[in-house]
Amino acid sequence: LGCINIHASLLPRWRGAAPIQRAILAGDQTTGVTIMQMDAGLDTGPMLLTKETAIHEWETAASLHDRLSQLGAHAVLAALEGVETGSISGRTQPADGVTYAPKIRKEEALIDWSRTAIEIDRQARAFNPWPIAETRWQGRQLRIWEAEPLKATTRASPGTVIASGEDGVDVATGAGALRLMRLQLPGRKPLSAAEFIHAHPLDGAVLGS
């Protein structure tokens, strides 16, 4: 049998170091775990067992990691039992559908407000708990721990705060608006939007500058 590995994707999609983050960034609706035999390649070995699960709209890399850890623990036990009884054997990975999940670089966390609200929301979720999506405000780093895309449309320039209140800080993007619900300044703890705007009014501010 050799060495086996629990990989946090449905191979051959997302071979590499960051399959969880890349799946969220890409907007995948499903993912899973693959129990595989290791070989000399990058996550290219024969597959013993796969288990699929949905990626929820609110899912962060942290929450998905925890769920896949549990799924993987059950799957590896089932795979080992199946190998022992002879009911499971290695299957060659399909040649089609191969994608790669390179290691996350910290600079990927910088928000480009000209992108769509949906894309920036994925960025915030994929980079939680590391490196945390960020923008600039008054020359300082502003980290975005939690956000959600809104159905509202706006003609404001991307990065402009169009509203703020107890529920969040609404920011114009390249398509749609994004509601920021948990924010953090350097050296401070993350705050809810209500707490943040009480100390730092943001109406009319332009983020990213």
CATH number 3.40.50.170 given to 4-101: yes
Q: Which pLDDT score, from 0 to 100, does residue 93 have? A: 98
* pLDDT averaged per 10 residues in sequence order, the chain, 209 residues: 94 99 99 98 97 98 99 98 96 98 98 98 99 98 98 94 97 98 98 97 94
Domain locations in the chain?
4-101, 108-199
- What pTM value is reported for the model? 0.96
Complete DSSP assignment for the chain: ---EEEESSSTTTTEES-HHHHHHHHT-SEEEEEEEE--SSSS-SPEEEEEEEE--TT--HHHHHHHHHHHHHHHHHHHHHHHHHTS---BPPPSSS--EEPPPPGGGGB--TTSBHHHHHHHHHHTTTTT-EEEEETTEEEEEEEEEEES----SPTTBEEEEETTEEEEE-SBSEEEEEEEE-TTS--EEHHHHHHHS--TT-BTT-
What pLDDT score was predicted for residue 183? Answer: 99
Just give the CATH number of 108-199.
3.10.25.10
